[in-house]
Structure 1
């Protein structure tokens, strides 16, 4: 049996909004996880259309395609092509769950919700010759005891962070704008691996650096605490994502730092209580954002802050206020988004009822374009402000200003390198990625990072010695 698993790039990767660095960060773990359920004697190929050339002159028995909103049209075209050749095509992913009727027109079988529960059921039905048209993930969701991810199918050299890992599913929060919230409806919305299985998966990964792709790594305190305890002494350095309230609550973030956490994606999103209430983002209400920044900075953890523009309480001043706050509080990298009402979300439903959706071209639903009618801004003001926020935050003046706000010289050096490297050298990264030479560039980046860190450590140590000497003199 020949199986082809495909993660299509957004609309043939020819859109003017194509950003190679964004789509070349990590491998398609969802497909590699499903591949672990396939029989050992089946011939399996996994193709990531973002980072390699997709050959479509073959005729596999089974084609598995993962669909997200901005690759939907490309995914449908591929599905139609393979079905016309007599291949059995299945579609799954966020967009399929959001718009199952649309996706069903292009597939023999569709999957609604996460697939770890339903894919083994499909395989049994498929082998017996009576697969269903729809499989819906419901009660009984778990990732405990699932087979190890088929990392042998992943072309590691094509990714900036090949050591990506996911140890939980979903999120305990239910924000109205969250694309993934609808994906986990109808069953458990947040669940974890067993700690020993997560640690075993980590142990399989080579090198030192890890990237947790979980939506909320700190979402289950008991699991996260056990995970960090198990990781202590491994010598790993890792990145992850968490909410504002989880950073402030208890000492879990200290445990994470002790285990090797060095960078955290934090969803600040908005400073407006009215926006937070309207978005059902209760976990951010009445939270001290500056305290979050201070606590992470004091622990030596870099911050990737997420901010959303275009919510109903946002006026023309929101862009400058957000950038000024991010710079003054030492946010290392900022990810700005234009609010996007993804289909399947409560935000989309509300805006559709209000007649505010202005486009249903899924290619434009990339958080970089305006696809709805804002409340207190024009569409052009929102787009211009978003573009200006990126330019201003990553200006050399603000990169220097943000770095200089940290107490540690080591943290200053890391802030400068990451902030500058992420945006100022983006054209270089794009050129390298398009040339398929990450196998050369990634080791070079790791070497540079190591040298920067060691130099900062030496400088910081020398400065500490000078401070101690002055203290002794004063005493």
Structure 2
């Protein structure tokens, strides 16, 4: 049984403006997770077009081709699917949002997460009775096999130690692409704490990156996970929401377990936008207090902002950048609001006749694909690029250090913010020469605050001996 698993390149991967570092950060864990369900004697190959050239002249031809589809990789995904005459299956966010479109290019499609449907398909396929479509309804991570990390070329990624211990998010923002992905069942669920800790134990080195949409989303699970991680000597990064950061105690537990950098979805500094987009967890929250709380415990901030919401005017770019710099935010990620198919935002904008086109290649949060309400499309795109340019000026980076509570924090700010953008050509060279893994010690040094002593690496006694619940209580 020969199985070929492919993560096709996003459209921007072939653009002259392509930033390789963005797509050389994390390996394709979704496909590596599905590979864990395949029989031991299966010949499996895992391919990521962002870090390697994909050969399609297979000899012998694979028995099964598995392709994960995102919206801006849809065109490339369909090209590959049409090329292969083997049994082809498609899954992922775009397949779930537009199943009829995807079905034209596959023998079988998967809607929603695959932990429950993938094993059923494999059994059906081996009997020659595979269905055309499998739809996820039973949401659980119980019995999840170990991720097939042996299939991943670790040396090609800056963060090979990425990990996911939950699925989905307890919140339902109307622009969130993944909210549609988890329809029809639980929208947020976790592994057991023991299973999560066992997966962490398998990863070498110190650094980890949790790719969970909201690692703090189940407070009980998160607290038990952080307790189990104490003493591991890990340094890690993750994502959370402003309300969870402001909640008492949990952040401190995370820091004791090794948290050093957090992705935070601020999205907009305009409260009216928060109401319109159903970003309820941010409404009425003091964003400044969020940043101060993180900095006070030594955690760096990677802030996310979205431009082009209905209450945004031409001044939104300068206001947002100025606020972020004054707060001392280390890194910022800016996006043009993009109404992804399958989301409430898409339905609302489409009903208002404001969708400009459905060229999925341009649904990349860098192009305007709808009619903004209080901006022109030209203003929106120009403001987006200006925000990146102004935030990452050396002068802005230097200004941002002023709010740091310590000299160590100021040095770390300069190293992290400057290193991410100002030395981008060096990152790109390292990626192209497959030397990116050698940057890990530098990343760990910055995260540790330049010389922080590693914690005791004996952690087994700290582990809880009971599982966390599989619910979404927060």
Q: TM-score range by the shorter chain?
A: over 0.9
Is the deviation greater in 287-296 or in 140-149? 140-149
Match of 1:28 in 2: 28
Match of 1:466 in 2: none
Return the alpha-carbon distance in structure 2 between the equivalents of residues 204 and 47 of structure 1: 22
Give 5+ residue unaligned stretches, structure 2.
455-474
User: 2:235 touches 2:448 (CA, 8 Å); kept in 1?
Assistant: no
Return the alpha-carbon distance in structure 2 between the equivalents of residues 213 and 252 of structure 1: 18
Return the alpha-carbon distance in structure 1 between the equivalents of residues 426 and 275 of structure 2: 41
User: 2:170 touches 2:217 (CA, 8 Å); kept in 1?
Assistant: yes
User: 2:206 touches 2:444 (CA, 8 Å); kept in 1?
Assistant: no
> Structure 2 length normalisation: TM-score?
0.93
User: 2:243 touches 2:285 (CA, 8 Å); kept in 1?
Assistant: yes
Match of 1:324 in 2: 322
User: 2:261 touches 2:447 (CA, 8 Å); kept in 1?
Assistant: no
Match of 1:470 in 2: none
Secondary structure (helix, strand or coil) at the match of 1:57 reads: coil
User: 1:142 touches 1:191 (CA, 8 Å); kept in 2?
Assistant: yes
Return the alpha-carbon distance in structure 2 between the equivalents of residues 34 and 447 of structure 1: 30
Shift of 1:436: 2.7
Secondary structure (helix, strand or coil) at the match of 2:84 reads: helix
Match of 1:461 in 2: none
Kindly tell me the number of residue pairs found equivalent between the two proteins.
Answer: 452
User: 2:336 touches 2:365 (CA, 8 Å); kept in 1?
Assistant: yes
Structure of greater relative contact order (alpha carbons < 8 Å, 6+ residues apart): 2
> Pick from 244, 253, 271: which aligns with 1:255?
253
Shift of 1:437: 2.7
User: 1:413 touches 1:456 (CA, 8 Å); kept in 2?
Assistant: no
Q: Which runs of structure 1 show a deviation greater than 4 angstroms over 4 or more consecutive aligned residues?
A: none
User: 2:97 touches 2:180 (CA, 8 Å); kept in 1?
Assistant: yes
User: 1:12 touches 1:74 (CA, 8 Å); kept in 2?
Assistant: no
User: 1:293 touches 1:331 (CA, 8 Å); kept in 2?
Assistant: yes
Match of 1:388 in 2: 386
User: 2:416 touches 2:446 (CA, 8 Å); kept in 1?
Assistant: no
Secondary structure (helix, strand or coil) at the match of 2:62 reads: coil
Cα RMSD after superposing both structures:
1.6
Shift of 1:450: 8.0
Deviations 1:71-123 (A, max 9, x none): 1100000000013xxx0000000000010000000000000000011000000
Match of 1:454 in 2: 451
Question: Structure 2 matches for 1:319-468, cutoff 5 A?
Answer: 319-439=317-437, 441-443=438-440, 445-446=442-443, 449=446, 453-454=450-451
> Pick from 64, 76, 84: which aligns with 2:66?
64
Change in Cα spacing, 1:209 to 1:456, as seen in structure 2 (3 Å) is closer
Shift of 1:397: 0.4
Secondary structure (helix, strand or coil) at the match of 1:4 reads: strand
Return the alpha-carbon distance in structure 2 between the equivalents of residues 205 and 269 of structure 1: 32
Change in Cα spacing, 1:445 to 1:221, as seen in structure 2 (3 Å) is same
Return the alpha-carbon distance in structure 1 between the equivalents of residues 276 and 453 of structure 2: 44
Match of 2:472 in 1: none
User: 1:303 touches 1:331 (CA, 8 Å); kept in 2?
Assistant: yes
Change in Cα spacing, 1:447 to 1:132, as seen in structure 2 (3 Å) is closer
Return the alpha-carbon distance in structure 2 between the equivalents of residues 404 and 14 of structure 1: 39
Secondary structure (helix, strand or coil) at the match of 2:301 reads: strand
User: 1:410 touches 1:456 (CA, 8 Å); kept in 2?
Assistant: no
Return the alpha-carbon distance in structure 2 between the equivalents of residues 227 and 389 of structure 1: 37
Return the alpha-carbon distance in structure 1 between the equivalents of residues 405 and 269 of structure 2: 25
Secondary structure (helix, strand or coil) at the match of 1:226 reads: helix
Secondary structure (helix, strand or coil) at the match of 1:76 reads: helix
Shift of 1:432: 2.3
User: 2:8 touches 2:68 (CA, 8 Å); kept in 1?
Assistant: yes
Return the alpha-carbon distance in structure 1 between the equivalents of residues 452 and 32 of structure 2: 39
Question: Bigger radius of gyration, 1 or 2?
Answer: 1
User: 2:409 touches 2:449 (CA, 8 Å); kept in 1?
Assistant: no
> Pick from 294, 306, 309: which aligns with 1:308?
306
Return the alpha-carbon distance in structure 1 between the equivalents of residues 374 and 435 of structure 2: 45
Change in Cα spacing, 1:93 to 1:253, as seen in structure 2 (3 Å) is same
Return the alpha-carbon distance in structure 2 between the equivalents of residues 258 and 131 of structure 1: 48
Return the alpha-carbon distance in structure 2 between the equivalents of residues 203 and 410 of structure 1: 30
Return the alpha-carbon distance in structure 2 between the equivalents of residues 434 and 301 of structure 1: 31
Return the alpha-carbon distance in structure 2 between the equivalents of residues 100 and 455 of structure 1: 50
Return the alpha-carbon distance in structure 2 between the equivalents of residues 248 and 447 of structure 1: 26
Shift of 1:452: 6.8
Return the alpha-carbon distance in structure 2 between the equivalents of residues 455 and 245 of structure 1: 29
Shift of 1:447: 7.4
Give 5+ residue unaligned stretches, structure 1.
458-475
> Pick from 72, 76, 79: which aligns with 1:77?
79
Secondary structure (helix, strand or coil) at the match of 1:454 reads: coil
Change in Cα spacing, 1:318 to 1:428, as seen in structure 2 (3 Å) is same
Return the alpha-carbon distance in structure 1 between the equivalents of residues 162 and 312 of structure 2: 35
Shift of 1:290: 0.5
Return the alpha-carbon distance in structure 2 between the equivalents of residues 451 and 202 of structure 1: 19
- Confirm whether residue 295 of structure 1 aligns to residue 293 of structure 2: yes
Match of 1:472 in 2: none
Shift of 1:144: 1.9
